[in-house]
């Protein structure tokens, strides 16, 4: 067990005496005497399974009276054998043998018997934590004289002790013990010198820099800022620079530093899948034998393997798993991917989103050049590298990850690293185990079905939540929204839904009808008056704790304390909701469809019930202003139009209705009035937008759901148009303005006046072209780019940016993609029509159709679509232009200039208005000059240096293409201006 003292010293405790065990159900006539025989036989079988390894594998078998968690039963206790094993990894072997069955002399006359096992799939560490009431990130006390300090240390920790497991005291995270320990956090980023045109490969490309920051949890400045560089590097103010001639030395030195600094937490961005594996592979390739010892145990090598993490909530990710004893790896990329839905997860995009700043992005092909330059260029790289190492730390602080994750670990009782590497179910399991233990109950081991089976079963599993039909439209009256507070948890609590209260169908008849309730899905659970379920109890505690945290949050004044409490209440909410998911997860540890389908079934009837009650009561005949109408309802919320234009009245009625309907439900189910949308645009199921009001003075924000504002594969244009349109419709209530805006934007698009970067689409290049079934625009482009220049073409792992250009007639969509830079350089015309038809039309119509009758014709076919502009094609574009001869044309009317001696800029007819044409040309130059200035100075500022050129090639940054385009446009516009003989 590893930890930190209050003073920040690292501790390694060797905890002794805790042996792994599990239970098996045995017949009632199984006697004490049978235990010995049972143990002997099981031991033999285990030995055999372990290739006849001799020795005592099964340490002990004893009898205990306990109860199974599964199903309600009158019989309070049954006979179980507690089987204690010698080593944790023997448990599964023994479990397999028992579940397959074997014969024991004297038991059932030596007949072949299978024994259902209980709690046999619990990870040893969790077992220990449950039994000792230890939770993740809590304080543990070693009483005086209960431990001995080791003189000859086996770890890199500052303090090392031996202790028996029953001596340690675990303190619940309350009062003084709710503080966070002063963890040492090490943030790291590496740079590698890739070869031209290839993503760095650990087998070939050296690690050239490692930047490291060490911070103590709770302090806002790093203790150490250091960078390890290959080859010399000019010094950096405020950071230590360690330069090495030999890459092996660099790695070795960094490894020593890591061990010496002994951090509790390793953080970084994508460290688990890039930085760490790269370092390890590189060290192996170079034969730095003493490098991969990052763990806290002396002499224990870091092991790395591929894993596939799959979870319903988080999706499937392939990743590396790196074992590193005593140090938690906290990859910010993973954490953010889990917790936030963003359009891009590049470090640049993430820091822009959360920290509000763009990050300089040096393309990896530029890195080699910097490395091969001078000490100054390497210094530049080092500064960049340090910045990248600092950003994860800042994100960690900003998003209060330490507080939130430790709260979560404490509440759910799992170790910190489980939160990132495991799904939700382990958290529920941990709580279930703790509760069951208090009640003397055992959790059966759920034998998992084979893969195909599960799918089929999952398909017909149960009906999901109800979604009432959406009455699509644009509502100018306030729409009150009633929400069920923690819907699923409260249903489970109200109806006492639990494993332990579920009555098997054949036993229902034996019960007194007053003692049970039957859910709308036809499953029967005993009432809480008879016996209280464990799940409701867990939920009660979680929600109770959340309530307390929320109350404390209101009282708290200190921002730090607020952060902690907010983190806690959020963690509690998530945990409460995951209990429902746990019972429904077919591949989970203990699925119980009766519970989950009953929960959703109750939910459905409640929504219907609410709708009925509200619509019956709030009618003009009953003295109300208008007839109420439920326009939409989804899972746990109901939207009501009270048919009153008055905001305050809607709020009052909403509150009243919430109380009125709540009374008809079992406690603690409660309908709450939370907000009013006014105005409200309901497009369809799960797609709506509205201004959200919680008071009558000011609206809180604009709330949108399911509308194309954040999708990452859309171009910026779509997002901006949709956002602005919603803003105009909802905030300014200016539908006509919105229509005008759309028309002018479409006109701008067709006239090619839009900011180029708005049209850039980016998609991930995740695997080689061959492995895609169909031809994809961005993959095709990557291949074309490789033919042009293999050195700069994107490789697997990059994000590919492209624009859609006009191509030959009948060209396939995937043939129209082009590299934005290439398109800019060669004046390739943008296929603006394609953008209009494929990207803008649908989302716009979705929004406008409920509002305008003739949306399509007004928006998409009006006068504004008549004028289109195309840049003069160049020879590069192919086609006829290869044979064209270029001649000056009049700037005013585009007629060819016949007499170039008279004027190089205008034809005879336009010459009279020369002054006008000149001013026109000037206006465009001026706009461009202004843009050029603001764009390039911004990049100069962002990179943090005035005297060095801007290298950044961050394609996520909105400026990138624009600054390139403005550079080109300005040069062209200036050239045109020059034709006026200036």
Residues near other proteins, by CB under 8 A? 234-239, 358, 376, 379, 716-717, 720-721, 723-724, 727-728, 741, 744-745, 748, 755, 758, 914-916, 918-920, 922-927, 929-941, 944-950, 958-959, 967, 970-971, 974, 977, 980, 982
Least distance in angstroms from the C-beta of 758 to other proteins: 7
> Which residue, 684 or 724, has its beta carbon nearer to other proteins?
724
Are the C-beta atoms of residues 484 and 490 closer than 8 Å to each other?
yes
> Which residue, 541 or 727, has its beta carbon nearer to other proteins?
727
3-state helix/strand/coil string of 711-745: CCCCCHHHHHHHHHHHHHHHHCCCHHHHHHHHHHH
Supply 393's token pair: 């730390």
> Which residue, 37 or 234, has its beta carbon nearer to other proteins?
234
3-state helix, strand, coil in the chain (%, to 5): 45, 20, 35
> Which residue, 871 or 879, has its beta carbon nearer to other proteins?
871
Sequence-distant (6+) residues with CB within 8 A of 396 are: 185, 187, 267, 330, 332, 402
Coil, helix or strand at residue 447: coil
> Which residue, 357 or 476, has its beta carbon nearer to other proteins?
357
Least distance in angstroms from the C-beta of 170 to other proteins: 41
Least distance in angstroms from the C-beta of 929 to other proteins: 4
Least distance in angstroms from the C-beta of 930 to other proteins: 6
> Which residue, 547 or 920, has its beta carbon nearer to other proteins?
920
> Which residue, 407 or 931, has its beta carbon nearer to other proteins?
931
Give the helix/strand (H/E) hosting 154.
none
Measured between alpha carbons, how far is 690 from 681 in angstroms, rounded to an integer? 6
Least distance in angstroms from the C-beta of 644 to other proteins: 32
Measured between alpha carbons, how far is 816 from 56 in angstroms, rounded to an integer? 70
> Which residue, 342 or 795, has its beta carbon nearer to other proteins?
342
Nearest alpha-carbon partner for 262 in 292, 293, 296: 296
DSSP string over 851-906 = T-TTHIIIIISSGGGS----PPP-GGG-GGGGG-----B-TTT-PBPS-TTT-SS-
Give the helix/strand (H/E) hosting 352.
helix 347-354
Measured between alpha carbons, how far is 358 from 759 in angstroms, rounded to an integer? 20
> Which residue, 475 or 960, has its beta carbon nearer to other proteins?
960
> Which residue, 91 or 959, has its beta carbon nearer to other proteins?
959
Residue pointed to by tokens 């009925």:
612
Supply 268's token pair: 């970084």
Least distance in angstroms from the C-beta of 933 to other proteins: 4
The residue count of the chain comes to 982
Least distance in angstroms from the C-beta of 928 to other proteins: 9
Least distance in angstroms from the C-beta of 848 to other proteins: 16
Least distance in angstroms from the C-beta of 891 to other proteins: 13
Nearest alpha-carbon partner for 818 in 760, 772, 764: 760
Running DSSP on this structure, what letter comes out for residue 469?
Answer: P
Measured between alpha carbons, how far is 804 from 830 in angstroms, rounded to an integer? 6
Measured between alpha carbons, how far is 720 from 714 in angstroms, rounded to an integer? 10
Running DSSP on this structure, what letter comes out for residue 500?
Answer: G
> Which residue, 225 or 604, has its beta carbon nearer to other proteins?
225
Least distance in angstroms from the C-beta of 222 to other proteins: 11
Least distance in angstroms from the C-beta of 416 to other proteins: 32
> Which residue, 718 or 781, has its beta carbon nearer to other proteins?
718
Are the C-beta atoms of residues 520 and 602 closer than 8 Å to each other?
yes
- Quick one: angle between helices 735-750 and 716-726, nearest 10? 160
Least distance in angstroms from the C-beta of 18 to other proteins: 48
Measured between alpha carbons, how far is 826 from 873 in angstroms, rounded to an integer? 8
């Amino acid at each position: 067990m590893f930890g930190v003292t209050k003073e920040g010293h690292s501790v390694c405790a060797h905890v002794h005496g805790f042996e792994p065990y599990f239970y098996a159900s045995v017949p009632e006539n199984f006697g004490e005497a049978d235990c010995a025989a049972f143990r002997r036989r099981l031991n033999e079988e285990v030995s055999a399974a372990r290739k006849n390894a001799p020795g005592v594998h099964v340490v002990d078998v004893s009898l205990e009276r306990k109860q199974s968690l599964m199903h309600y039963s009158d019989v309070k206790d049954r006979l179980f054998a507690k089987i204690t094993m010698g080593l944790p990894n023997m448990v599964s072997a023994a479990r397999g043998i028992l579940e397959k069955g074997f014969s024991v002399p004297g038991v059932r006359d030596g007949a072949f018997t299978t024994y259902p096992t209980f709690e046999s799939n619990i990870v040893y560490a969790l077992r220990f934590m449950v039994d000792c009431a230890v939770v993740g990130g809590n304080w543990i006390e070693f009483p005086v004289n209960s431990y001995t300090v080791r003189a000859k240390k086996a770890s890199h920790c500052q303090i090392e002790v031996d202790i028996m497991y029953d001596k340690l005291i675990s303190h619940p995270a309350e009062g003084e013990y709710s503080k966070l320990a002063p963890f040492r956090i090490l943030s790291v980023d590496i740079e590698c010198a890739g070869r031209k045109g290839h993503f760095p490969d650990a087998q070939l490309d050296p690690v050239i820099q490692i930047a490291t920051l060490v911070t103590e949890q709770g302090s806002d400045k790093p203790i150490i800022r250091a960078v390890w560089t290959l080859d010399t590097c000019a010094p950096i103010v405020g950071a230590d620079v360690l330069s090495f001639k030999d890459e092996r030395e660099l790695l070795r030195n960094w490894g020593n530093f890591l061990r010496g600094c002994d951090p509790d937490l390793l953080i970084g961005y994508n460290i688990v899948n890039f930085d760490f594996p790269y370092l390890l592979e590189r060290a192996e390739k170079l034969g730095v034998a003493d490098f991969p010892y990052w763990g806290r145990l002396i002499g224990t090598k870091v092991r790395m393997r591929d894993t596939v993490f799959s979870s319903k909530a988080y999706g499937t990710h392939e990743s590396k798993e790196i074992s590193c004893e005593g140090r938690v790896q906290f990859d910010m990329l993973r954490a953010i991917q889990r917790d936030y839905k963003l359009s891009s997860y590049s470090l640049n995009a993430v820091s822009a989103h959360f920290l509000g700043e763009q990050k300089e992005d040096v393309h990896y092909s530029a890195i080699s050049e910097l490395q091969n330059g001078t000490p100054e260029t390497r210094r530049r790289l080092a500064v960049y590298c340090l910045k990248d190492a600092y950003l994860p730390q800042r994100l960690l602080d900003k998003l209060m990850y330490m507080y939130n994750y430790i709260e979560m670990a404490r509440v759910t009782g799992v170790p910190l690293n489980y939160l990132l590497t495991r799904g939700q179910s382990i958290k529920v399991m941990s709580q279930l185990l703790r509760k069951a233990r208090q009640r003397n109950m055992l959790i059966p081991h759920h034998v998992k079905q084979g893969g195909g089976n599960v799918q089929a079963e999952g398909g017909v599993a149960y009906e999901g939540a109800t979604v009432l039909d959406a009455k699509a439209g644009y509502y100018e009256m306030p729409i009150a929204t009633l929400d069920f507070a923690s819907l699923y948890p409260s249903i489970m609590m109200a109806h006492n839904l639990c494993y332990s209260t579920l009555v098997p169908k054949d036993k229902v008849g034996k019960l007194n009808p007053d003692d049970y309730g039957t859910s709308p899905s036809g499953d029967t659970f005993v009432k809480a008056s008879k016996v209280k379920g464990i799940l409701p109890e867990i939920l009660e505690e979680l929600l109770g704790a959340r309530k307390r945290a929320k109350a404390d949050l209101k009282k708290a004044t200190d921002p730090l304390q607020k952060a902690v409490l907010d983190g806690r209440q959020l963690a509690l909410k998530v945990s409460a909701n995951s209990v429902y998911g746990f019972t429904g997860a077919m591949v989970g540890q203990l699925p119980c469809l009766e519970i989950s389908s009953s929960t959703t079934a109750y939910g459905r009837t409640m929504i219907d019930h609410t709708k009925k009650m509200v619509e019956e009561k709030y009618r003009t005949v009953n003295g109300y202003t208008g007839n109420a109408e439920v326009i939409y309802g989804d899972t746990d919320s109901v939207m009501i139009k009270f048919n009153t234009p008055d905001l305050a009245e809607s709020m009052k009625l909403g509150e009243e209705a919430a109380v009125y309907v709540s009374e008809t439900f079992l406690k603690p189910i409660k309908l709450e009035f939370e907000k009013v949308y006014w105005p409200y645009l309901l497009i369809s199921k799960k797609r709506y937008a509205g201004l959200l009001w919680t008071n009558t003075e000011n609206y809180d924000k604009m709330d949108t759901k399911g509308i194309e504002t954040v999708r990452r594969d859309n171009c910026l244009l779509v997002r901006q148009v949709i956002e602005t349109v919603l803003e105009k419709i909802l905030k300014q209530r200016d539908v006509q303005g919105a229509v005008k805006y759309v028309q002018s934007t479409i006109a701008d698009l067709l006239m090619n006046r839009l900011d180029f970067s708005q049209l850039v689409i980016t998609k991930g290049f995740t695997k080689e072209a061959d492995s895609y079934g169909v031809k994809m625009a961005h993959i095709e482009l990557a291949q074309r780019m490789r033919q042009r220049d293999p050195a700069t073409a994107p490789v697997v792992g990059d994000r590919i940016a492209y624009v859609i250009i006009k191509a030959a007639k009948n060209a396939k969509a995937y043939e129209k993609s082009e590299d934005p830079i290439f398109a800019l350089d060669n004046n390739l015309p943008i296929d603006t029509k394609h953008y209009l038809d494929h990207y803008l039309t649908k989302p716009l119509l979705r929004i406008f159709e409920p509002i305008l009758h003739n949306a399509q014709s007004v928006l998409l076919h009006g006068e504004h679509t008549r004028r289109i502009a195309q840049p003069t094609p160049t020879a590069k574009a192919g086609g006829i232009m290869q044979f064209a001869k270029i001649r000056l044309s009049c700037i005013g009317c585009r007629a060819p200039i016949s007499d170039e001696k008279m004027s190089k800029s205008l034809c005879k007819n336009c010459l009279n208005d020369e002054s006008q044409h000149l001013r026109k040309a000037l206006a465009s130059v001026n706009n461009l000059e202004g843009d050029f200035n603001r764009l390039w100075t911004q990049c100069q500022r962002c990179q943090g240096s005035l005297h060095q050129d801007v290298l950044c090639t961050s394609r996520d940054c909105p400026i990138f293409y624009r600054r390139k385009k403005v550079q080109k446009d300005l040069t062209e516009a200036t050239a045109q201006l020059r034709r006026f003989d200036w």
